[in-house]
Structure 1
Amino acid sequence: MGGEGGLGTTGPRRARGMTRAAAFDLVVLLALCALFAASLCLGSVDTAPAEVARILAAGPADTGTASQVIWQIRLPRAVEALLLGGGLSLSGFLLQTFFANPIADPFVLGISSGAKLVVAVVMIVVLGAGQVMSPAASVGSAFAGSLATMGLVLLISRRVRTQSMLIVAGVMVGYICSAATNFLVAFADDQSIVNLDNWSRGSFSGATWGDVAIVAVAVLAMTAAVFALSKPLGAFQLGEPHAQSVGVNVTGLRMLIVAVSSLLSACVAAFAGPVSFVGIAAPHLARRGVGSSRPILVTPACFLTGAAFCCGCDLLARTLFSPVELSVSAVTAVFGAPVVIALMLRGRVPR
């Protein structure tokens, strides 16, 4: 009787969970739409919403100044911030699931620093002065650095016994990569130093439609992969023995998590530079909002939350002290760090 009662309550509880998740997704989606619209309207010269709507309806063929600003500067930047924010949030969610640690993300584990090191090697040593890295070279370099650093952290994780020590190891790996990058910079020419410094500040400025196309293909494909992995990820969250008992290929799943999270973080590093705290804060907010850690519910919430978070921070970074533009990482840290601290003080994230 007790077993039947337990089974009988599973359906309604799951339905309530899905309703709460759908409501949270809708609220975040509306906030994202509002922030996206504000990104198109606000800038060094504000544009009325009705004028923006007219420009978008007219298409990119309009040669007017306002049309060029919207179509060639603000719109690709807003789309890139949306996609990369969602991708970075999903990368953080995957790493937190992989390491069973709520503060794991590409920035904390040194993965962003590793990507920066390899980008610096290619930019300073391989290409040298007067050469500009192509988007493909940026993505390839950042992905190689992310994957190599992730592999090093995984090797360390086999030797340490606690998650706190693993985080410390990741931070130390980040320091080593940063030190090596600074060593390279000491012997670089002025132009390479400027290029690397601009890249490492973290910014969505300078986005082009070519960049957006590459980002869209990579991020949307990886997002679809995370959705496809929802069921085995849910089993993995309950422990490797449980995952194996229900037929999950744990070794293959671990490799997929590493590859997908590394590619997502590499896309962000390549096109926006290191962006901090989004990968930690957004998954926490998503889990809290949906009241669950089930991947099938958290994945869309994570993407939307990360997208809205980055769109909002990018809007503040370029308008708060206009015409001076702030580093987007500075703004994400200002808002992301208090969010993480507040959520941790309130209690554990629901599972």
Structure 2
Amino acid sequence: MFKISTKLIFAMIALSPAIAFAQAGNVGVNTVNPGSTMDINGSLAANYKAVTTATYNLVLSDFHVSYNGSSDAVFGLPPSVSGVGNFKGRIYRIKNNTNFKITVNAVAPETINGNASISVPANQSVELVSTGLTGTNSTWEKMSAGALATTTTASNGLTLFGTDVKLGGTLSQPTDIATAGNNLSINGTGKVLVGTNTVPAGAASAKIVIDNGTTNGALQIKDGTQQLGYVLTSDANGLATWSSTVTTAFADNWTSYTGTLVNPFTGNSGGDNLPTGISVNIPAKGWYFFRSGITITSTCNDYWFYIPGIGEVWKTYCGTASPDPINFVPRDQTRVLYFAAPGVYPIVAHKTNLVVPSGFNVGNPTFYLDFVKFQN
């Protein structure tokens, strides 16, 4: 009877989950001769938890925690324990299954590898282990996710160093940048160099440099206005389009002067830069064809109209001195002038002596001055 009771008691003890056994040496599961303190010949399961809250504090029962929330999240590590209850060696694995960021904070003044917090980027993970230290020591160590010292080069011109992705890798396959309607901006004081990594002479102020060596065709711009023999031409805002170097100059698109002509030749002898009341509005730089006409009735004198810094638009000389007023010819004249910049240019006049015309274009067609652009 005693033997039966003893066997029953040992069976109950062995099957009871509330009983803990301690022994010296190694413990094996599904192995007869364990080679480590705990030797498991089979699978191992630890606690798995999925959370969606944006704020979560890791607890004693956690091991693997996956985040599936809809915003950036903040995870808090438990405070370290000194003495009884110290959890040195505890491991937490945190997986970010979202496109957001997880910030993992240590309890101040504790740190994670010397930092108050670390970030787990979108679709990345991190594994942390407790060092058992307390206070300002590094109470947690990061075992993965950025701790690697190897460099991985992507095939699309990016370089991954741990969790840091940088531009500058080798581009070993065709790569398209789809902006999906968004603007792509390159800001700063630097330059964009294509075909070279050295700024060439004369490009100190350039923002974009294209070096195609000695091969023609370094730049191609297609906007529907391109044609054979066209040049790139800018408007007043710097917007460029392709245009012909020769315009439709002699089509019926002449532009007349603005203002009302006043007699500029009633002043003193040798008058120069005399106001005429008229001007021309030049829309763009380039070569312009001018035509004008006026008949001056006067005693012998020299007269002309001109644009300061550009050139004359009409001029006549006294060929034969006469005490009586005469008509100065030729009345109708043409000129070709170049303007380096658009703008409004006043027309002024010059005369050589004191004689004042007794008449000004008397009995002749009205003064005219027309101009048209014919070449860039």
TM-score interval, normalised by the smaller of the two chains: under 0.3
Give TM-score, length-normalised by structure 2: 0.15
Higher strand share: 2
Give TM-score, length-normalised by structure 1: 0.15
Pick 1 or 2: higher relative contact order, CA cutoff 8 A, min separation 6: 1
